[in-house]
């Protein structure tokens, strides 16, 4: 039996580098062992260290092979995580809507304040991750930068909904009569349970990619921000709708509206990439107005003339709070999630 | 040929090799790729395994262990879904190559050094 010292050492190193489930890792190592032994045999002189070294060199370094596996599996994890996070977010939003304002305990009041904001953050982040996962669903090698954005979106969505759900659960448990708050108790518990699978997927994906220098150094692609994702998915949906005779007239009508000079001027003025803060301010005002109007209508419909000043003041306060929250989130998370381009990168690619 | 150039088309090339030869193990697939390209396709051999595993996960390939010369080896085979995918890959490649060729045709290039 010839000595295969170098091949054995290579396999040992590869075993340490591979971040795969045990069964898959053993299968990969068996395949690689077969490959290297055959390559050495074909080069004649199986025991010769020179031919073993040549076989290993043409195979690629353990780090490179492990990196390719990690990239592939990280993409799978990121897509799966985005779908699971979206499901968890939907469940959490249903809990918030069904439970509504809740005041039985100090933590219950905290839940009442935190949960509407947590729901909005979770919906935005989970929605963006799902959009990105959908856009890149058929691609073989999703860029590492994009995977990081998807994972970050999932992490923020899960973090905000878990913080809120745990607060609700603790508030219900610590209330004087917990049985009277079974809605919050059950709803928060369900939200926490549904958040566990995406959390597990996220942690596993992070563990797979951590420590691989190539993954960490992978640059975020130029011109590939949230706007690019929205436009790409929009174009895909447009093609899909145009291929269906029932939807084609609708698309044509929307095209006509989007090409109207006034609409074009407005979309240019609010262009997320060129004027990120202007676009964010417009969104903040819209969200604030929607919350203010929604709250006013749910509290008793349109106010009479005498109640108008009070209703207007309430509307203004809600608009200011919601608008400020949107702008703070945009400032804190916009660059981190690839919604607005970082100031450290050039605004336009050099021509 | 640079490894990055092959990487983008690796899936189609792997499916094409398996479609024409029948079941093969990793080493033989590499050999086929190399011999059919006249030795032009040189890429780190280990990088085909992540691609083979992914194609199997997507249902385009199936694999099984086989015993050969006192060694266990994993043999890959194209599925019917893989054949359909190969057709689409070929179509996409033809469209890309045709478009690229029409651009190259119009370019004035100095002779290679």
Q: What is the pLDDT of residues A220-261, one digit of tens each?
A: 666 788 999 999 999 999 999 998 888 899 999 999 998 999
Report residue B68: phi and psi, to 5°: -145, 125
pLDDT digits (tens, 9 = 90+) for B35-83: 888 877 777 888 899 999 989 988 999 999 998 777 889 999 999 999 9
**Residue whose entry in the numeric block shows the structure tokens 């009508």:** A253
Q: Where do the H-state alpha helices sit in A210-307? A: 213-217, 226-242, 248-258, 261-269, 276-298
**Residue whose entry in the numeric block shows the structure tokens 């044509």:** A252
A241 within 8 A of A306, measured Cβ to Cβ: no
Cα–Cα distance measured from residue A269 to residue A168, given in angstroms and rounded to the nearest whole number = 42
A71 sits in the region (left: phi over 0; alpha: psi -120 to 50; else beta) called alpha
Check CB contact of A290 with chain B, cutoff 8 Å.
no
Pick from A31-35, A39-43, A125-129: least confident: A39-43
Q: Which of B50, B72, B88 to probe by mutation at the A interface, max A CB count within 10 Å?
A: B50
pLDDT value at residue A216: 52
pLDDT value at residue A263: 92
Q: Give the count of Cβ contacts less than 8 A between chain A and B.
A: 65
Which chain B residues have a beta carbon less than 8 Å from that of A17? Answer: none
Whole-structure pTM value: 0.73
Which A positions 11-40 lie with beta carbon below 8 A of chain B?
Answer: 24, 27-28, 30-32, 34-35, 37-39
Q: What ipTM was assigned to the predicted interfaces of this complex?
A: 0.85
Check CB contact of B7 with chain A, cutoff 8 Å.
yes
Determine which helix (DSSP H) or strand (DSSP E) holds A344, and give its type and residue range. Answer: none
**Residue whose entry in the numeric block shows the structure tokens 């706007």:** A227
Question: Cβ contact (<8 Å) for A64 and B26?
Answer: no
Q: Once rounded to an integer, what is the mean pLDDT over residues B21-26?
A: 93
Of B11, B27, B54, the CB nearest to A35: B27
Q: Once rounded to an integer, what is the mean pLDDT over residues A303-313?
A: 74
Q: Once rounded to an integer, what is the mean pLDDT over residues A315-326?
A: 89
pLDDT value at residue A301: 67
Check CB contact of B3 with chain A, cutoff 8 Å.
no
CA distance B17 to chain A (A): 18
Model confidence at A72: pLDDT above 50: yes
Check CB contact of B9 with chain A, cutoff 8 Å.
no
**Residue whose entry in the numeric block shows the structure tokens 């074009």:** A264
CA distance B9 to chain A (A): 10
Query: Searching chain A, which residue's CA lies closest to the CA of residue B50?
Result: A69
B20 within 8 A of B86, measured Cβ to Cβ: no
pLDDT digits (tens, 9 = 90+) for A137-184: 867 667 777 888 899 999 999 999 998 888 888 877 777 776 777 777
For residue A307 the two structure tokens come to: 């109640």
Mean pLDDT of chain A: 83
Q: Which of B45, B60, B67, B73 to probe by mutation at the A interface, max A CB count within 10 Å?
A: B45
More confident residue, A293 or A329: A329
Check CB contact of A141 with chain B, cutoff 8 Å.
yes
pLDDT value at residue A351: 37
Q: Which residues pair with B24 in a beta bridge?
A: B76
Least Cα distance to A140 among B50, B46, B41, B33 occurs for B50
Determine which helix (DSSP H) or strand (DSSP E) holds A20, and give its type and residue range. Answer: none
Check CB contact of A140 with chain B, cutoff 8 Å.
yes
């Amino acid at each position: 039996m010839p000595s295969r010292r170098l091949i054995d050492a290579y396999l040992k190193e590869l075993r340490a580098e591979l971040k795969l489930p045990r069964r898959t890792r053993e299968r990969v190592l068996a395949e690689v062992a077969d490959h290297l032994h055959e390559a050495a045999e074909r080069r004649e002189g199986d025991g010769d260290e020179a031919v073993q070294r040549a076989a290993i060199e043409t195979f690629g370094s353990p780090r490179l092979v492990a990196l390719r596996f990690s990239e592939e599996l990280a993409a799978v994890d990121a897509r799966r995580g985005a779908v699971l996070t979206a499901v968890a977010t939907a469940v959490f939003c249903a809990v918030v809507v069904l439970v509504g304002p809740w005041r039985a305990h100090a933590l219950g009041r905290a839940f009442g304040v935190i949960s509407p904001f947590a729901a909005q953050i979770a919906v935005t982040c989970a929605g963006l991750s799902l959009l990105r996962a959908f856009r890149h669903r058929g691609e073989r090698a999703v860029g590492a930068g994009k995977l990081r954005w998807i994972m970050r979106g999932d992490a923020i969505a899960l973090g905000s909904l878990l913080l809120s759900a745990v607060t609700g659960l603790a508030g219900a448990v610590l209330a004087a009569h917990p049985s009277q708050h079974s809605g919050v108790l059950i709803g928060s518990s369900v939200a926490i349970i549904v958040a566990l699978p995406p959390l597990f997927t996220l942690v596993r994906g992070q563990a797979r990619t951590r420590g691989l220098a190539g993954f960490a150094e992978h640059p975020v692609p130029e011109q590939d921000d949230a706007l690019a994702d929205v436009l790409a998915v929009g174009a895909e949906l447009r093609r899909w709708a145009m291929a269906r005779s029932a939807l084609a007239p609708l698309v044509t009508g929307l095209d006509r509206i989007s090409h109207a000079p006034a609409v074009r001027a407005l979309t240019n003025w609010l262009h997320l990439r060129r004027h990120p803060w202007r676009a964010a301010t417009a969104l903040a005002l819209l969200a604030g107005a929607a919350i203010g109007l929604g709250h006013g209508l749910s509290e008793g419909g349109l106010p009479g003339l005498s109640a108008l000043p009070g209703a207007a003041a309430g509307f203004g306060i809600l608009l200011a709070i919601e608008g400020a929250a949107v702008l703070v989130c945009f400032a804190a998370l916009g660059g981190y999630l690839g919604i607005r381009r970082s100031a450290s990168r050039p605004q336009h690619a050099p021509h | 040929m640079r490894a990055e150039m092959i990487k983008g088309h690796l899936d189609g090339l792997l499916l094409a090799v398996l479609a024409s030869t029948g079941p093969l193990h990793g080493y033989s697939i590499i050999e086929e790729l190399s011999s059919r390209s006249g030795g032009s396709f040189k890429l780190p051999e280990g990088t085909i395994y992540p691609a083979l595993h992914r194609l199997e996960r997507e249902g385009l390939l199936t694999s099984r262990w086989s015993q050969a010369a006192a060694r266990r080896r994993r043999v890959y085979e194209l599925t019917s879904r893989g054949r359909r995918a190969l057709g689409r890959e070929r179509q996409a490649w033809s469209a890309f190559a045709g478009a690229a060729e029409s651009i190259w045709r119009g370019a004035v290039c100095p002779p290679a050094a």
